[in-house]
Amino acid sequence: MTTSVLIADDSPFIRTAYKRILETQEDLEVSAVVEDGRAAVEAAEEIELDVAILDVRMPRLDGITAGKKIRESSPSTSIVIVSAFDDWTYIQDLVETDPSAKAYILKNSLDDIGELIRVVRQVRKGYVIFDHVLVDKLVGYYERHISEELKQFSKEHLSLISHYARGFDINEIKSILNLDDDTMESGLNHIFSNLNVQRKNVADDQIATTIAFLNQCIALDAQ
């Protein structure tokens, strides 16, 4: 099954680069390329769209607002925000309501051409995905601000959460961290319990865990 992708960015260079990257994959089809947020919304109303890749700052309409409007008319469309700004205000605005199938990725991370392809494929599974730089910042907030007596997560747990928040599948995490099934399950159960996540399905568990950890870390940093 082919994934239909829209690209919206006010930089001609970026639009061309993303299009070339995605079109190397047989399962990805770039169906529209536009230069601002309003044009993205209009294009999404005219075509069947699976994923919208939106620059966070564009003329006429910013990427996050455009993403919200696209989701209003097409709830099944996944939203990938690409940004030069690691600003939590943007991120919280993106995931405040309906965080499923949304990603916030920093432009520098897309120097690795495989990352854009990975994120597009993973966001179609319904995951909420944060850039690795953002996830590392969250972990840093946790480690700096949580007291020893209140600390819920070991470095191993934080590593698992980090990969989870980046949208890796459970089997991928097991392989990356070299975990067996029992260790993985035990780690997840500990994380779910301490973040008050009620297990449902793979995507819902991933979303609830990521958002709960995001909110906890931002709250710690604000203290």
Same domain, 75 and 143: no
Which domain covers residue 165, as residue numbers?
134-222
CATH of the domain at 50: 3.40.50.2300
Same domain, 123 and 158: no
Residue after which a domain boundary falls, among 80, 99, 130 = 130
DSSP string for residues in 45-83: HHS--SEEEEESS-SSS-HHHHHHHHHHH-TT-EEEEEE
pTM of the model: 0.95
Same domain, 69 and 124: yes
Same domain, 105 and 141: no
Same domain, 97 and 153: no
Same domain, 16 and 100: yes
Same domain, 143 and 48: no
pLDDT of 222 over the 80 cut: no
Same domain, 67 and 172: no
Domain count within the chain: 2
Residue after which a domain boundary falls, among 93, 110, 130 = 130
Same domain, 125 and 143: no
Residue after which a domain boundary falls, among 130, 164, 186 = 130
pLDDT of 221 over the 70 cut: no
Same domain, 84 and 179: no
pLDDT by residue (tens digit) across 109-165? 988 889 999 999 999 999 999 999 999 999 999 998 888 888 899 999 999 999 999
Nearest to 51 by CA among 96, 117, 132, 133: 117
Three-class SS state of 212: helix
